[in-house]
Structures are given as C-alpha cells and as structure tokens.
Amino acid sequence: MNMKFVFGGIAFLMLLLVVAGCSQPAAQQATPTPTAAPTIEVPVTTETATAVPTTLASTTPGPVQTLQSNWAVDVQVASNGKSIDPQVILTFRGGKGMNVIPEIDITLTRSDGTVLSDKMVQPLYVGKTVSLAGSTGNNDRAEVWVYTPAGDKVKVIDQYVPFRSYN
C-alpha cells in the first residue's frame, strides 16, 4: 500500500516536470570560428595633435519608450536627500518581466557633467537597489535602460532627479 503512494508521488512529480518544461536540455550556442585578418602595411606619417575642446554630456532629458506588457518592469529613481553623502538610488519594484529581463543599466549625469554608470543584473527581486554618487544640485539626470530578452536596449526613464523634495 505504501509503495503505491511512493510510486504515485514520483510519477506525479515527473508529470509536473514535463508540464513545466524542465526536462528539455538548454540550447547550445554556436561559437564562431576565428578567422585570421589579412595584414596590410600602412605607410607611417607624422601628424601634430591639435587640441579638441571637451564638451560636457547632455543634461537635457529625452524621449523614453515603453516595454511590451509581458516584459514590463517597474523601477524607481530617487535621491537620498543627504547633503553629506548625496546618492541617487535606483530601486527595482517588480513587474511581469522580472524573471526574463537580463539587465538594467543606469547612467547618471551629474550637474557638473560627470557621468557615472552601473547595472543591475539577474536575479532581480523587489527591493533590489543600485546606488550612485549624486550631487546636491537639482539637475542630476538619470537614464535607465532595460535590455529585453530579444536583445534590444530600451530607455524607460530619462528624468531629472531632485536632490530634495519638499512636498
């Protein structure tokens, strides 16, 4: 009698594995074969270097896109409001694409023109954070890029992050 329950339980678990699709092997990715590049001799010329003026990164927010509903994720960008150690914090808030989105990138352009970047990778969970050093100015620009499972890079947030909010 007990053996019927044991075999029945094992058969039920195997049925669940098959239904969930866990019995299929992972797809093998083909590695490209390296090819030797032909060598070409280039005549050497000497040139004098000219100074190029440096330009600051744009601090004007641009347009954003929306993800497909089955890949949608919710992220929040905010400042911690501490003048001693100002931080801009990206917080993952979940969504339908939580398990399929491979990576989320954040680029912070501070008010002095400094550009900082970081990324959030799998496993994604609600409450996961990435923190970047901000400034005490009210025009730090945060750009959040989400990589879709198809390999596309989609900008979902492009906004100013105020140092403090008084409301």
pLDDT of residue 74: 92
Query: Is 154 within 8 Å of 146 (Cβ atoms)?
Result: yes
Beta strands in the chain (DSSP E): 75-79, 87-92, 103-109, 115-121, 129-133, 140-147, 153-161
Tokens in use for 12? 């039920």
Q: Kindly report the pTM of this predicted structure.
A: 0.61
pLDDT tens digits for range 137-158: 778 899 999 999 988 999 999 8
CA-based end-to-end distance of the chain: 68
Query: Is 113 within 8 Å of 96 (Cβ atoms)?
Result: no
For 12, the enclosing helix (H) or strand (E) is: helix 2-20
Mean pLDDT across the chain = 78
Please tell me which residue, 11 or 59, carries the higher pLDDT value: 11
Sequence-ordered list of residues with C-beta below 8 angstroms from that of 121, at least 6 positions apart, any chain: 102, 103, 104
